[in-house]
Amino acid sequence: METKLTHEEIYNLLTGRIVLAMNRALVHNFRSKNITLSKEQWSILAVLWKQDGCSQQHLADQTHRDKPSVTRLLDKMEVDNLIVRQAAANDRRLNLIFLTEKGKSFEAPTLQAVNETVAKATSNLSDDQMNLLKETIKTIYLNIETI
């Protein structure tokens, strides 16, 4: 099967070079704004900012991490007073994860840093190019999600 990408483009795609560069830029923006979150913590908080009080399994699913990784991450976030775990009222075996006031306080500055990072990364793209990029990313994701 012939590919439409060069070997270098395949290498860049499969090694995640764009993702790594975006993550480096994001962490740099976080640090420049005194946001003390890791990229991993941000990904958990981003889910909780949309839906506070969700299960650990939901967080694992939404962040594409395995449950043990999420457990370790939540342990650290609990020590840092970003989240609290509470037993579910209808099933005491199930812990629900809630934001603390400190966790909530990170939302506005963090989203601003994220938006600035994305704006910088896409600054030379036209509206048509942005729409094509979004559609292309969505198509690639849907193609590989079924594997």
| CA dist 62 → 46, 57, 58, 70, 78 (Å) | 10, 9, 6, 11, 19
What mean pLDDT comes out for the span 106-121? 96
CB burial readout 121-145, b (16+ within 10 A) else e: eeeeeeeeeeeeeeeeeeeeeeeee
Residue 82 lies in a domain: yes
Any domain includes 96: yes
Write down the pLDDT at residue 11. 77
Residue 84 resides in a domain:
yes
Of 104, 103, 85, nearest to 93 by C-alpha is: 85
CATH number at residue 94: 1.10.10.10
pLDDT tens-digit readout, 54-107 = 999 999 999 999 999 999 999 999 999 999 999 888 887 788 999 999 999 999
Q: Does residue 68 fall inside a structural domain? A: yes
pLDDT at residue 138 above 70?
yes
What pLDDT, on a 0 to 100 scale, did the predictor assign at position 97? 97
Assess if residue 1 is contained within a domain: no
Model-level pTM?
0.84
Q: Which two three-digit tokens encode residue 16?
A: 């995640």
pLDDT at 137 over 90: no
- Decide if pLDDT at 24 tops 70: yes
| pLDDT confidence of residue 72 | 96
Distance (Å, whole) CA 60 – CA 127: 33
The answer to whether residue 25 sits within a structural domain is: yes
Count up the domains in the chain and report the number: 1
Asked if residue 39 is part of any domain, the answer here is yes
Full residue range of the structural domain in which residue 137 is found: 7-145
- Judge whether 59 lies within some domain: yes
Q: Mean pLDDT across the chain, nearest whole number?
A: 92
